[in-house]
Every structure is written in structure tokens, then in C-alpha cells.
Structure 1
Amino acid sequence: MNTGLKITAFAAALAAAFGTAYGVGESLDPVVADRAPAHDERHTPPSTEADGHAGHDTPPAGGLQISESGYRLDLRTPRVTAGHRTELRFAVRDDHGRAVTEYRREHDKELHLIVASRDLLTYRHLHPTRAADGTWTTPVDLPRAGGYRVFADFTPAAEGARDLTLGADLAASGPYRPQELPRAVGTARVDGYEVELAGALRPGRASELSLSVSHGGKPVTDLQPYLGAYGHLVALRAGDLAYLHVHPTGAPGDGRTGPGPAVSFTATAPSSGDYRLFLDFKHDGVVRTAAFTVHAGAAEEAAPPAPEHSDGHGH
């Protein structure tokens, strides 16, 4: 989750070259379109506080590199067919080429896997299964053709190892139609739930974001813990899909954090620009994802009142 900035224009070039079809053969690096469904998380960068509050230093952007600190993401399924359930296989390798088999558990999991389209409309937070030889597998069904980015979020168990987010490109073949980033709005709807966003994302400066969940016009006050928290927030930067995960303020059972309706986060954007925020929350036994488009700029911008129809679905 620590890397430099680098904007990838491959998706746009590919769309221009191939028009309405996304290659079935070798290739690619762009992304797909759809909704905001599945689930994620990220560990606080070394420059921030361990409790999940972002510090005043600009956090490094993650997921832009396939290798970092002697570790490499080996995606063994670089291509899938849109609309078909496929088993995604990958491994994390050390600087000797050996598959890593020991990890530190973070939020109840050894590794969190995020799959997102480059237009930031499709989002999946997956929890793959690791075999004894270090191979990870998980089923995935991507709705539309295009380019996707796969993010592996983990901490090796090796002494001195730190949190890492490694990224790799994934292509889904089939008819391809580029989609625009949804406009910025203050409310997202998913499966009959409404989530209201308050606060602003600022570049290089910590700010508070509060997301309040309601259902049927009534505040939800019995959110359920999911992976050790009442909510998980992931931000992906439009253009290069730089990855930032922020943990919520407080935790279930700490004596001061209630189970809704609001879940608060302190976040720092690595740069100005447009971002897509994905909030995962659990209620009535189902994890759902609410998605927002926000702009991180020098001045706060008021969100338009019209709600966004996120069309996200449960996990």
C-alpha cells in the first residue's frame, strides 16, 4: 500500500483500439463496469497511527506496483470471461521466488483481495482460501468485459515485514462499453438501504468522513461487526486506481462505539482528484457495499442532494 504515483493510460488506449470488443486472447490491463458490490479493507500506512486514524503526512498510494519490498503478486489467472464464474488463482512470492505460506492475520483474515474495474463501477472484496503450497484461490464472476485491477492486501509473517498492497491487471473478455465515473452525490442506495456521506476527502490532510446507514427511513442502530469493525472503507483514485483503506474510528465492544447508524473514519487522500469510496457494512447477516464518488481538492465542495443508485449487492 506504499508506492509512488503513476497514472496508467492503457485502458483508454485499449478501448480506442478495440472499440466495442474486449480481447479474448492474450492481453490486457484496463477494466470493467457494473455496480458496487463486494467487500474490502486496508491497513494503515506506516506513517499513520496504528489505531486507524490517518496522520498528517500524506499517505502513500497502494496497489500501483506488482512487486514491493521483495514480494511479488503472481496472478495465475490473468484473463476471465465476463459473466462466467471463474476460479481466480494467485500466489505471493518472496525475493527467492518461493510462495509465501505464513501471514499475519489482519481483521480475521490472512489476506484480503479486492477486484475493481478501471471505471470504478464494479467492486469485489473477496477472501480467498490458501493451500499449503501458498496458492490462493477464490471464485469470481465479473459482470462486464474490460480491464480490472486485482489488489492483494496482506502482511507477511516474516520478521520486520510490513503491510503491503500489491496490484496486478486482470482482463475480462466480451463486448466492451466504456462507462463514465458516476457523479458525486451525498447519498447511496443499495438493497433498500440508504447511506449518507458527510465530510470531505482532502489531499495531504486528515479529515473526518461519517457515513450513516438507514433502512425504510429509519436509522440502523444494530449494525453487526464484520471483520472486527462496523464498517470498512476503501478509496480508489480515478485514473490509476491508487488504493487506500482506512479503518473506522473505534471498534465493537470498546465501550464507546455504537453499532450505528453512523460509522466514522479519518482519512487522508494521497493527492487531489476524483475518488470512488466503497463502504462495506453488515446488517441482518448480509454484507453490503455502498459506493460514492468524491472529489479531493483544496476546498470543500458540497455534495448534490440527489441520491446515487449504487445497485451494489450483498456478499
Structure 2
Amino acid sequence: MKDFFTALAITSTLVITQACASQVKSGETPRSTTVSNVNSPASHNMSGSQAPKAEKNSHDGHNINNSQEEHSGHSKLESANAIVKITLPAKITPKIPVPLAIDVTDKEGKAIANFDQFQEKLMHLIVVSDDLQSFNHIHPIYKGNGRFEVEANFPHPGSYSLFSDYKVAGKAEQVSVLKAEVPGNSPTAPKIDLATTKTFGNTKANLKLSQPTIKTGQEVHLIFNLQDAASNQPLKDLKPYLGERGHLVILKQSSPLTQADYIHAHAMKNTPAAEVHFITSFPKPGKYKMWGQFNRNERIITADFWVDVQ
């Protein structure tokens, strides 16, 4: 039998808008499948990749900035102060999916049974290498008694941070940071590319900013202009992705990665057909990497860009 070890999460509470979470109790009907399908696009989107097919009736995140007009106002919900632990194999081999178990308890160590569904999922898990070369967004399956299970794929040796995003029933949304190590020599990180136009499979993405220089603490409008790579024509087959026009995960280049380095937003409504707009702000100066995810005719496009914040 394989050796496993358990790590304690660094937990933070995010106070976000109540509109982002639906009050659906999870403890009553836990799903019976052991792990989520790691081959589905929502659960296996590496940086710059194009997944084979979109996962239906699911979602890819939330907006923690509260800066969008669709999400005005702040939640009055109190923190659950939940504690999260992760159990994973003692040795992880790159590119080989491994099982993960995530347990959510109260401060006394008692399992928390009920969770609210938000953005159509009970938990969102962002798995990113600390050098920001790889990115994966998966949805652990609730097994009951506070336990979530999923498989994850770690593509290369090095340190990884896992941002577990969940909502204890009736409480404010929380993000807990979990850590994993993959043995071996980490690949050399490529030079940071600040290009604003890139091609991802059959899709060309052009990133536009509302201001030439991004300033710390100031709201910035991020526009992803999406075109067909072959024709350079605006996309006509862009569909809602998990309830939204798109989702954006942002991480600050930092060592080690912490919850303070993490930003997650979803798209504004009523924007031009081939454009996806986000509004956010960056808390500290530095280099940030962004992963925008969009649904092109049931195929998920993951478009990554770097930005420099002054």
C-alpha cells in the first residue's frame, strides 16, 4: 500500500458578495464517485493549453475583488474559521495522476458536514506550480463528513501550491492554501513574456488594458479580445463558460505563494460578442501571471499572460 502524508492548510477567509453563492446544502446528497474525471477540460487545463471538451453544468470560480457592477456590495456572513488538511502520496511522480483527499474541520477538529454550493460547485481547487509554469483547475467531489476527493496531475518536479476554495454552509467563502512537493530537478523557468498577443491552439487572444501602466491598488479594466487564429476574425462560437462569459485567475510572482497572492474574477456581462472583460485591482507591485478561461464551442481555451504592476 502506498505511503501517504497529511499537510495542514494555511487558511484565509474571503468576504465576497452574497450573490456569488447559492444556498444549497451539500451534506444531504454527497456524490458517489470517488474522484473527478481528470481528463475533463475543467479539471485538466494546463497553462496555454486547449482542452478537448467543456465540462457542462459546472463553474470555474468567483470574484473576490467585488469591483464588478454585477457584484456590488459585501457579504455580511461571518467566517467559519475552518481548518483544511490534505492527504496525498508521500512520493509524487510527474505527469502521473495521484489521488488527493481534502478534509475540512472546525477548530476543534470536528468534521464539517454541510457546504453551500457556489458557482455550481462545492469546492474549486487551483493547482499551480510555484514557478507559475503550470496551472490546473479541478473540482473535488464531496464524499460526506467533510471530505473531498479528486485526482491531480503534477507535470514537472518542484513545489506546488493548491488554492482550495469552498464555502461552509451559511458562512463566508474561504480559500485555504495547501502545499505539495514533487521530487526531482525543477525545470528552468522561462523568461517572463509580457507580450499582449498570443495564440492558443486555434484561438488568438489579444490582451488590452484600460491604462498603459497598472498601478497598485487602482482598478484596471482587462479585455481579452478573442479571434480565430486562421482567419483573424472575431470569434462567433464563444459560449458561456460554467455560467459566465469567462473566468480569470491571477497570481503574483512570489516565493512562497500565499493566499495574498491570489486573485480570482469572473467576467462582466453585456460586453461585445468576441470580447471578455474583467475589472480587478492588484494589491502590491510586481509581476503577475493571469490565466483567462473561455468556452469556444464546448472547448475550453486557457490563455495566459503576464502583467507588470507598478
TM-score range normalised by the length of the shorter chain: 0.7 to 0.9
**Compared with structure 1, are the counterparts of its residues 152 and 108 closer, same or farther at alpha carbon in structure 2 (3 Å cutoff)?**
same
How far is the alpha carbon of 1:155 from its aligned partner?
Answer: 1.7
How far is the alpha carbon of 1:177 from its aligned partner?
Answer: 2.4
d(CA) in 1 for partners of 2:89, 2:159: 10
Runs of 4+ in 1 over 6 A off after TM superposition: none
Report the identity percentage: 24
How far is the alpha carbon of 1:87 from its aligned partner?
Answer: 1.4
- Among residues 220, 245, 266, which one is paired with 2:235 in the alignment? 220
* Structure 2 spans left out of the alignment, 5+ residues: 1-11, 15-45, 52-58
How far is the alpha carbon of 1:266 from its aligned partner?
Answer: 0.6
**Compared with structure 1, are the counterparts of its residues 127 and 148 closer, same or farther at alpha carbon in structure 2 (3 Å cutoff)?**
same
- Among residues 185, 194, 215, which one is paired with 1:184 in the alignment? 194
d(CA) in 1 for partners of 2:191, 2:89: 24
- Among residues 74, 77, 97, which one is paired with 2:109 in the alignment? 97
**CA offsets per residue over residues 180-214 of structure 1, 9 Å max, x none?**
45321101221221111000543211111100111
How far is the alpha carbon of 1:92 from its aligned partner?
Answer: 1.9
How far is the alpha carbon of 1:157 from its aligned partner?
Answer: 0.9
1:43 aligns with 2:53: no
Q: Which residue of 2 aligns with 1:169?
A: 179
Structure 2 SS opposite 1:174: coil
d(CA) in 2 for partners of 1:50, 1:138: 34
d(CA) in 1 for partners of 2:225, 2:103: 37
How far is the alpha carbon of 1:35 from its aligned partner?
Answer: 3.6
d(CA) in 2 for partners of 1:170, 1:40: 22
1:275 aligns with 2:295: no
1:246 aligns with 2:265: yes
How far is the alpha carbon of 1:257 from its aligned partner?
Answer: 4.4
Structure 2 SS opposite 1:76: strand
What is the TM-score with the length of structure 1 in the denominator?
0.71
Instruction: Give the conservation status (yes or no) of the 8 Å contact 2:47–2:291.
Output: no
| Matched length | 246
RMSD: 2.5
Structure 2 SS opposite 1:289: strand
How do residues 19-38 of structure 1 correspond to structure 2 at under 5 angstroms?
35-37=47-49
* Structure 1 spans left out of the alignment, 5+ residues: 4-33, 56-67, 251-255, 298-315
**Compared with structure 1, are the counterparts of its residues 202 and 181 closer, same or farther at alpha carbon in structure 2 (3 Å cutoff)?**
farther
How do residues 49-68 of structure 1 correspond to structure 2 at under 5 angstroms?
51-52=70-71
- Larger displacement relative to structure 2 (216-225 or 117-126): 216-225
**Compared with structure 1, are the counterparts of its residues 72 and 109 closer, same or farther at alpha carbon in structure 2 (3 Å cutoff)?**
same
Instruction: Give the conservation status (yes or no) of the 8 Å contact 1:72–1:92.
Output: yes
